Amino acid sequence: MKLKSTLVLLMLSLFLISCSKNKAAKETKFNNFSEQFADIKILRYQIPDFDKLSLKQKELVYYLTQAGLSGRDIMYDQNYRYNLAIRRALERVYKKYNGDKDSDEWKNLEIYLKRIWFSNGIHHHYSNVKFKPNFSKEYLTDLLKKTHTKLNDAAFEVIFNDKDTKKVNLDASKGLVLGSAINFYGPDITEADVDAFYKAKKSPNPDKPLSFGLNSKLVKENGKIVEKVWKSGGLYGKAIDKIIFWLEKAKDVAENDKQAKAFELLISYYKTGDLKIWDDYNIAWAETTEGDIDYINSFIEVYNDPKGYRGSYETIVQIKDFEMSKKMDVLAKNVQWFEDNSPIMDAHKKKNVVGVSYKTVNVAGEAGDSSPSTPIGVNLPNSNWIRASHGSKSVSLGNIIEAYSNAGSSGRLEEFAYSDEEVALEKKYGQLADKLHTALHEVIGHASGQINPGVGTPKETMKNYSSTLEEARADLMGLYYLPGQKLVDLGLSPDADAIGKVAFDGYIRNGLITQLIRLNLGDDIEEAHMRNRQLVASWAFEKGKDANVIEKIKKDGKTYFKINDYKALRNLFGQLLKEIQRIKSEGDFDAAKALVETYGVKVDQELHKEILARNSKFTSAPYGGFINPVLVPSIDSEGNILDVIVTYPDNFAKQMLDYAELYSTLPSEN
């Protein structure tokens, strides 16, 4: 197709940048590992079978990755109001400084900048705690001066002071909104302000509640609380206009009419910020199940909002994994059986689970909240009424899971598993059990259950506990069915008992032991998925004590958790699933709070100290994320795309600097 001259220049720049270091393309064995710093390991992933796509499909993938990257700055600004100013100042220093780069302070500054790139800001992507710089104020001042770099005083000071220490605070006693540094609310907005503002809003159709607050920032202007909507011509408008530019091109090469219609609605939503159009788009997107290319693009997950309203910007571009999707499609076709046979109350079961689509996909590019740290499975849309009436899509990110698996074992399994039998079973079936659990979590778990008539949405009824309990509910649905014969009958599991054992062993081990390596001693658990896993594991441990279902054992001075009765544990998982679904269906906030606060937040400090000591001998970082492949269009003199080539960069810092040069779409203050 014909491209504008500015687009041609951008493509040529991309080609020159990405081809400067492309060793991986010539390697006989792809190296997934790139580097490690702080608590992060940087990996790489491949895009299988990209060459098998048609030219039109390659163009579609390319345009969608460009749309995603065009909004990259949004995520930085959403995470914290000074992130863009700090990132850009340090990037300039990193590029311009010609002094001693062997000193400890320079190396520490480089690590600090890499952590900012990885977390899309100055707060840890998982713990939400602000990074502490291991360099001095004086050193940074000197670097700024020598590189002629400006950084405003407030942004400079926040690097070193003790203000805004938590990106997302879930401790209500500290103020959910005022205690959170997330840039979804003005600095003078309180939790009471948020509650009052949205209590006054009413959806035109109560049975189809709009996602109020999803795409806006709440601020005070002249003493009045108003929403600053993220749209073309509004907040983040410059970045959104770039996103729209690429989505228009994607629409022109859509695989089918339904896909083109969904693009049209998404573009209209970005232009207007209209939440009714957002719902229309989600319906169209959920019902577009044909085609080999799919995508996630917009303000979606609300984990970063302590009040559960606002969506973080994210994009994932996906290519269907044909072989695996065919195998796993059987889950979607049998979703009603799983709903009917689940242990939740009959009144809370859906009588007709609509349109659950499941695919294994290969990621072609990610941005925003999905990059560099990425999920391994996704289920959307999040609106309960749309899921109930129009279905949902669940995907497992196959090449991401594969890249993690190929990155190598750290030895932690042997350290924290109780027995040689447990280790052997994990090595034989662990990867398959993880894939099956992810599939069940996304397809069956999130699609299951219904809210009682007249009960508000989970973000309204369960508030800051909503995300934790929803993830626990989905996990439990998967855990309950993993030991079942049904998966064997469907041809998905080779051995019900073995898969159940390895899944249960791994879940209890992770929930009670190994995930603690991600926390500093003395910390509470803040992240929703970590809270969910400890909640499930510790609840099951406590409720099974009398029958010794899970035994806490000291062996050679080390603590282990050994499952003695797998059938009894499955029953406990079923009981907890039933209760969490009841809490969600009935909107029981007090029960939600009690469950999460009792089992999901506090950490056994003696055990934590022991785990950290045992983990200290391992050099592999506990968190991982990815350098994205770069798609390079081959174009003729008139701007026609002749082909799209995949290149595999191996330098994290270089990719981040390239992104900063090519996709800086917002001012440093918004």
The yes-or-no verdict on residue 209 having pLDDT over 70 is yes
Inform me whether the pLDDT recorded for 559 exceeds 70: yes
Question: Strand runs (DSSP E) across 464-549, as ranges?
Answer: none
Q: Are 668 and 88 in contact (CB under 8 A)?
A: yes
Q: What is the model's pLDDT at position 315?
A: 98
Pairing between β-strand 313-320 and β-strand 293-299 as defined by DSSP bridges: antiparallel
Q: Residue 618's CB: how many other CB atoms inside 10 A?
A: 13
Is 60 exceeded by the pLDDT of residue 7? no
Model confidence pLDDT, tens digit, residues 155-189? 999 999 999 999 999 998 999 999 999 999 999 99
**Cβ distance 174 to 181 under 8 Å?**
no
Instruction: Provide, rounded to the nearest whole percent, the portion of the chain with pLDDT above 90.
Output: 87
Beta-strand runs (E) in 77-223:
216-221
Above pLDDT 70, what percent of the chain? Answer: 95
Identify the CA nearest to 313 among candidates 116, 76, 130, 527. 76
Structure confidence at residue 440 (pLDDT) = 94
CB 452 within 8 A of CB 586: yes
Rounded to whole angstroms, the Cα distance separating 50 from 47 reads 6
Mean pLDDT for the stretch of residues 324-334: 84
Element (H, E) at 645: strand 641-647
pLDDT of amino acid 175? 94
pLDDT attached to residue 409? 64
Instruction: Residue 169: count other Cβ atoms within 10 Å of its Cβ.
Output: 21
Identity at 328, one-letter amino acid code: M
pLDDT band at 20 (very low <50, low <70, confident <90, very high): very low
Instruction: Assess whether pLDDT exceeds 70 at residue 16.
Output: no
- In 236-321, alpha helices (H): 237-252, 257-272, 275-286
In this prediction, residue 8 has a pLDDT band, given cuts at 50, 70 and 90, of very low
CB atoms within 10 A of CB 420: 9
Percent helix, strand, coil in the chain (nearest 5)? 50, 15, 35
Residue with tokens 């232009």: 271
Helices and strands, counts by H and E, the chain: 26, 14
How many residues in the chain? 670
What gap in Å lies between CA 657 and CA 654, rounded to an integer? Answer: 5
Strands 40-44 and 623-627: parallel
CA Rg value for the chain: 24
Pair 525, 537: CB distance under 8 Å: no
Contact 234, 273 (CB under 8 A): yes
Greatest distance between any 2 Cα atoms in the chain: 76
pTM value? 0.87
Examine the pLDDT at 74 and tell me if it is beyond 50. yes
Q: What angle separates helix 589-596 from helix 566-586, to the nearest 10 degrees?
A: 140
pLDDT digits over 76-116, tens only? 999 999 999 999 999 999 999 999 999 999 999 999 999 99
Region 389-417 average pLDDT: 89
